[in-house]
Amino acid sequence: MTNTSEFVNATQNTAALVDAIPHFAFDVKHDSLFDDSKLLLTKVFPEWSADELTFNQCKDGITNKLIQCTNKSKDITVLIRAYGKHTEVIIDRSQELIVSALN
């Protein structure tokens, strides 16, 4: 970028892109992964019953925890990622959303 106005425009475009990405500010705690995931899913998909859900924790992550959540009656699977503790200190979550949205 060659001048201040280009930087301001890029920053505003980045903020608009982050705001346009559907996301929920919801804590899925590491010590209650399945319970919090169930609560989140019933908020995101109010037509889903908690009794229809099964959970499986994917074990390969180093800091993040990934939960595979399946609605058995609808045959739909979604993934929930619980960020690792204090990873926000080294990772810009807004930038991560942008990279994810562009891929």
Architecture of domain 24-102: 2-Layer Sandwich (3.30)
Amino acid in position 50: A
| Residue 66: predicted pLDDT | 87
Q: In this structure, how many other beta carbons lie within 10 angstroms of the beta carbon of residue 3?
A: 8
Amino acid in position 64: N
Pick 82 or 51 by higher pLDDT: 51
List, as one string, the DSSP characters of 14-37. HHHHHHHS--------GGGHHHHH
8 has pLDDT over 60: no
| Residue 39: predicted pLDDT | 93
Q: The whole model's pTM is what?
A: 0.63
1 has pLDDT over 50: no
43-48 CB contacts, 8 Å cutoff, 24+ apart: 45/71, 48/74
Q: What is the pLDDT of residues 41-68, one digit of tens each?
A: 998 899 999 999 999 998 766 777 889 9
Q: In this structure, how many other beta carbons lie within 10 angstroms of the beta carbon of residue 33?
A: 17
